[in-house]
Chains A and B, each alone.
Chain A
Amino acid sequence: MRRAPGSAARGPLVAFMVKEVQHILRDRQTLTILILMPLLQVVLFGYALRTDIQDIRVAVVDPTPDYATLALRNRLGATDRFRLVQVLPDASRLETLFRRNEADVGVEVAPRFGTRLARGEPADIQIVADASDPNGGTTMAAYVNAVIDDFAGQMGASGGAVHIALDTRMRFNPTLASVNLFVPGLIALVITLVSALMTAISLSREKERGTLESLLVSPLRPWQIIVGKVLPYLGLGLTIVLLVLAAAWGVFRVPFRGSLALLLGEALLYTLVSLALGVLIAARTSTQRSAMLAALVGTMMPSALLSGMIFPIASMPAWLRPVTYIVPARWFIIIARGVMLEGVGLVNLWIETGVLVLMTLVLLVAAVRSFDARLA
């Protein structure tokens, strides 16, 4: 376009982005929901929907009581969350206790526990949890596990002396407060919502109303349309992430041990994956409604259900676990939990980061290609 020398022009891309910002700001209702919903979820999950459980009824099976098992029983009884309901001589009665709903967790101590410990031999403790509610069971078992770990440390025994047949996924969350684990997942969900869902809706709206046609015959290039569409939502998404972090820290003191810059960088990466997914969905659907449905089923649901955010991946059926590998949120949540709760750096997260980078590249190329004017 010829223009007088020296005169200011915003250029097509900026003009287009200004319009996108106007769209976002003008739709007050959606904006309010986008900002308030995640904050409300932090508060809800923090207070109401706590998956961490109080008043766990513990039964101890102690065939040969000695100084060590007594110390363990005291330790369990002295923990706020636990109530020691019964001490049994053998495991046969445990089943009955569970059936009558008189105990939630059983702690079975191996015979001659103290003697074995003193000799440095492996001394086994088995934790049996009532898993009729699988998540509750896992959580309760993990609590007991944490206390026994602590006990083992106090006994001065080396890690190898007390064998516990349980994995220790929650070890970096020593208070085991669920809101801590939940916040990284919520961040993933917010980014998915704003980036994938909102972008898909907004792009497919242009398609449905016919405005996209006018954009495609204009000097705007397809990549400019995508970038102009995506950047404002990226800004919005990161702003909401910061708000969620501030709320989580301000209200629940959710720890932040790692680097904020690293987390934001990784959030940016995850945002790109989601945005690319949103663009792909919009390119493949023809109406706002179908784009919304596709985005809900294709991005929001897996991000909530298959990412480990709510349901631990380890407790999924074996056939379902491999499916979680293609859910971007799964990788981001590992990263976000690592950075926030464990304070780990990029060195320990390069595999997860690499997976996200790869997903971003593949999806971005696919998105731009599927959106190319020639194919429209």
Chain B
Amino acid sequence: MTLPPNDEPAIRVRDLARRFGGFIAVRGISFEVARGEVFGFLGANGAGKTTAIKMLTGLLLPTSGEARVAGYDVYRETESIRRHIGYMSQRFSLYEDLTVRENIELYGGIYGLSDERIAKRSTELIARLGLHDVRDTLVGSIPLGWKQKLAFSVAVIHDPAIVFLDEPTSGVDPITRRQFWEMIYTAASKGTTVFVTTHYMDEAEYCDRVSIMVEGTIAALGTPNDLKSRYGAATIEDVFVRLARPAA
């Protein structure tokens, strides 16, 4: 899957806002994500991250502002957006009462892959993840780390232009997290743009660029090194705490 043949960035957001009644969840944010970039989207709970992601994935209409994802407009072209993005949430997308292979076949089918292609990708994927012995085991009974890697692979089974990862590593051990990030880099090196939210600040350091949301606005945006030098902090965690403290 490639982006439409133009030089648009993977994601372009201008003054995007969303209000729920009297509450403004997102107050006019603007940013761009380049193709093939690993973009970290940070923020404390309630800072408006989830609302922003919902607008970018076509689950929620913005109140005002503009956003184009994979070159498509979030107001009018959500169907095209859905075909060009992958999505993995913190709760995974897998069905526990289906086997490893059935889950792969399901998502391959939902994303319109041909039977032939599904079979090929399924074999590849199982081999790459070392899941051969459990390919016909119910997902509910395989370890969390394997589930998580499988969920990621399934989210990019259709080679999306952009993959949205919403706290993909919550609850897994450090070794699995590292392996998971290797998978992210592999996907990015093949041209997939990665848009990831996380609560682990060490993970933020792995991103090409990070943005930090505070109270519905983007308080800081840049490469991890930029941000650290700008705020004179040793780690992204320090930057985050400094920015988020007024809100806390």
Stretch of B57-65, B168-176, B205-213, B231-239 at the chain-chain interface: B57-65
**A173-224 contacts to B (CB < 8 Å):** 209-211, 213-221
Q: Does B158 contact A12, Cβ atoms closer than 8 Å?
A: no
Q: Does B106 contact A19, Cβ atoms closer than 8 Å?
A: yes
Q: Does B158 contact A18, Cβ atoms closer than 8 Å?
A: no
Cβ contacts under 8 Å, B164 to chain A = 217
**Binary interface profile of A, 1-34, with partner B (CB < 8 Å = 1, else 0)?**
1111001111110111011001100110000000
A217 vs B59: C-alpha distance in the bound complex, in angstroms? 7
Let me know if B110 is at the binding interface, CB within 8 A: yes
Residue of A nearest to B96 (CB): A209
Cβ contacts under 8 Å, B117 to chain A = 3-4, 7
Let me know if A373 is at the binding interface, CB within 8 A: yes
A211-B95 contact, Cβ under 8 Å, with A7-B115, A217-B57, A373-B59: yes
Q: Does B110 contact A1, Cβ atoms closer than 8 Å?
A: no
Cβ contacts under 8 Å, B46 to chain A = none
Out of B82, B87, B114, name the residue touching A213 (CB < 8 Å): B87
Q: Does A1 contact B111, Cβ atoms closer than 8 Å?
A: yes
Let me know if B137 is at the binding interface, CB within 8 A: no
Residue of A nearest to B87 (CB): A217
A1-B158 contact, Cβ under 8 Å, with A7-B115, A7-B117, A210-B89: yes
Q: Does B110 contact A18, Cβ atoms closer than 8 Å?
A: no
Cβ contacts under 8 Å, B83 to chain A = 1, 219
Cβ contacts under 8 Å, A211 to chain B = 91, 93-95
Cβ contacts under 8 Å, B110 to chain A = 12, 15-16, 215, 218-220
Q: Does B57 contact A15, Cβ atoms closer than 8 Å?
A: no
Q: Does B115 contact A373, Cβ atoms closer than 8 Å?
A: no
**Binary interface profile of B, 46-84, with partner A (CB < 8 Å = 1, else 0)?**
000000000001111100000000000000000100110
Cβ contacts under 8 Å, A22 to chain B = 97-98, 102
Cβ contacts under 8 Å, B98 to chain A = 19, 22-23, 26
A187 vs B10: C-alpha distance in the bound complex, in angstroms? 55
**A359-374 contacts to B (CB < 8 Å):** 373-374
Q: Does B113 contact A3, Cβ atoms closer than 8 Å?
A: yes
Interface size class of B (residues with CB under 8 A): 35 or more
Cβ contacts under 8 Å, B39 to chain A = none
In whole Å, how far is A229's beta carbon from the nearest beta carbon of chain B?
13
A15-B108 contact, Cβ under 8 Å, with A9-B113, A217-B57, A217-B85: yes
A214-B114 contact, Cβ under 8 Å, with A19-B98, A219-B82: no
Let me know if A131 is at the binding interface, CB within 8 A: no
Let me know if B112 is at the binding interface, CB within 8 A: yes
A8-B114 contact, Cβ under 8 Å, with A19-B95, A210-B93: yes
Q: Does B115 contact A8, Cβ atoms closer than 8 Å?
A: yes
A217 vs B102: C-alpha distance in the bound complex, in angstroms? 20
Cβ contacts under 8 Å, A10 to chain B = 109, 115
Q: Does A8 contact B116, Cβ atoms closer than 8 Å?
A: yes
Residue of A nearest to B90 (CB): A210
Let me know if A165 is at the binding interface, CB within 8 A: no
A26 vs B102: C-alpha distance in the bound complex, in angstroms? 12
Residue of B nearest to A376 (CB): B59
A216 vs B98: C-alpha distance in the bound complex, in angstroms? 19
A2 vs B57: C-alpha distance in the bound complex, in angstroms? 20
A373 vs B108: C-alpha distance in the bound complex, in angstroms? 21
Let me know if B105 is at the binding interface, CB within 8 A: yes
Q: Does A27 contact B109, Cβ atoms closer than 8 Å?
A: no
In whole Å, how far is B94's beta carbon from the nearest beta carbon of chain A?
8
**Binary interface profile of B, 178-199, with partner A (CB < 8 Å = 1, else 0)?**
0000000000000000000000
Residue of A nearest to B2 (CB): A2
A215 vs B92: C-alpha distance in the bound complex, in angstroms? 12
In whole Å, how far is B51's beta carbon from the nearest beta carbon of chain A?
13
In whole Å, how far is A216's beta carbon from the nearest beta carbon of chain B?
6
Out of A8, A26, A213, name the residue touching B97 (CB < 8 Å): A26
In whole Å, how far is A221's beta carbon from the nearest beta carbon of chain B?
8
Cβ contacts under 8 Å, B108 to chain A = 15
Cβ contacts under 8 Å, B87 to chain A = 213-214, 217-218
Residue of B nearest to A19 (CB): B106
Cβ contacts under 8 Å, A216 to chain B = 59
**A211-255 contacts to B (CB < 8 Å):** 211, 213-221
A4 vs B113: C-alpha distance in the bound complex, in angstroms? 9
A220 vs B1: C-alpha distance in the bound complex, in angstroms? 18
Q: Does A16 contact B112, Cβ atoms closer than 8 Å?
A: no
Q: Does B114 contact A15, Cβ atoms closer than 8 Å?
A: no
Q: Does B95 contact A9, Cβ atoms closer than 8 Å?
A: no
Out of B95, B112, B116, name the residue touching A23 (CB < 8 Å): B95
A7 vs B115: C-alpha distance in the bound complex, in angstroms? 8
A52 vs B16: C-alpha distance in the bound complex, in angstroms? 70
Out of A3, A209, A210, A215, name the residue touching B112 (CB < 8 Å): A3
In whole Å, how far is A240's beta carbon from the nearest beta carbon of chain B?
21
Q: Does B82 contact A218, Cβ atoms closer than 8 Å?
A: yes
In whole Å, how far is A364's beta carbon from the nearest beta carbon of chain B?
22
Question: Hey, which bits of chain A sit against chain B, CB under 8 A?
Answer: 1-4, 7-12, 14-16, 18-19, 22-23, 26-27, 209-211, 213-221, 373-374, 376
Question: 20 interchain pairs (CB within 8 A)?
Answer: A1-B158, A3-B113, A7-B114, A7-B115, A9-B112, A12-B110, A18-B106, A22-B102, A209-B91, A211-B94, A213-B93, A214-B155, A215-B110, A217-B59, A217-B82, A217-B87, A218-B82, A220-B110, A221-B79, A376-B59
Taking A3-B113, A15-B109, A22-B97 as given, write out 4 further A-B residue pairs in contact, using a Cβ cutoff of 8 Å, ordered by the A residue number: A12-B109, A12-B110, A14-B109, A210-B91
